[in-house]
């Protein structure tokens, strides 16, 4: 495994830990008339993101790297709209990073990492679509 791939996998872990905490806190903190419609989505996505962090950490450990325990900065947001806009941006960043990891894994001949991130990418695109839909105005 190259140092670049090692660093990118740790960036992915930091990001997954960040959003798992962020989404869980949003699940707890969301208020208002629309909160009931989204709190379950936040909780579901938080659990999915923590599973991603675990899968990536297991892969990095297998490849001989040391998984980070530090999340990226957590940004909860003060209103539902702020939360969703921040989450949408976080998913866009994840999608871009994971496409880079897939490309690098392909270049390095690492089929397992490539396959893992293709699966995770599908989840992130689903999350992005859900957040985008929730932000649409009537």
pLDDT over threshold 70, residue 138: no
pLDDT over threshold 70, residue 20: yes
Its pTM stands at 0.95
CA distance 22 to 15: 10
What structural domains does the chain harbor? 3-135 (1.20.1260.10)
Task: Read off the pLDDT band of 32 (50, 70, 90).
Answer: confident
> Using one digit for the tens of pLDDT, what is the confidence trace for 68-103?
999 999 999 999 999 999 999 999 999 999 999 999
CA distance 98 to 96: 6
Helices (H), the chain: 3-29, 35-62, 80-107, 111-135
- In three-state secondary structure terms, 33 is coil
Average pLDDT, integer, range 90-118? 98
CA distance 29 to 33: 13
């Amino acid at each position: 495994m190259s140092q670049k791939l090692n660093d990118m996998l740790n960036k992915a872990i930091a990001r997954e830990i960040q959003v798992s905490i962020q989404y869980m806190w949003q699940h707890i903190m969301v208020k208002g008339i629309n909160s009931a419609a989204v709190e379950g989505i936040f909780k579901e996505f938080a659990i999915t993101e923590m599973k991603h962090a675990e899968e990536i950490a297991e892969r990095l450990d297998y490849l001989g790297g040391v998984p980070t325990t530090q999340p990226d900065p957590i940004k909860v947001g003060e209103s539902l709209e702020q939360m969703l806009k921040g989450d949408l941006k976080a998913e866009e960043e994840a999608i871009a990073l994971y496409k880079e990891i897939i490309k690098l894994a392909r270049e390095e001949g690492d089929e397992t990492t490539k396959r893992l991130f293709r699966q995770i990418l599908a989840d992130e695109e689903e999350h992005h679509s859900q957040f985008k839909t929730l932000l649409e105005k009537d």
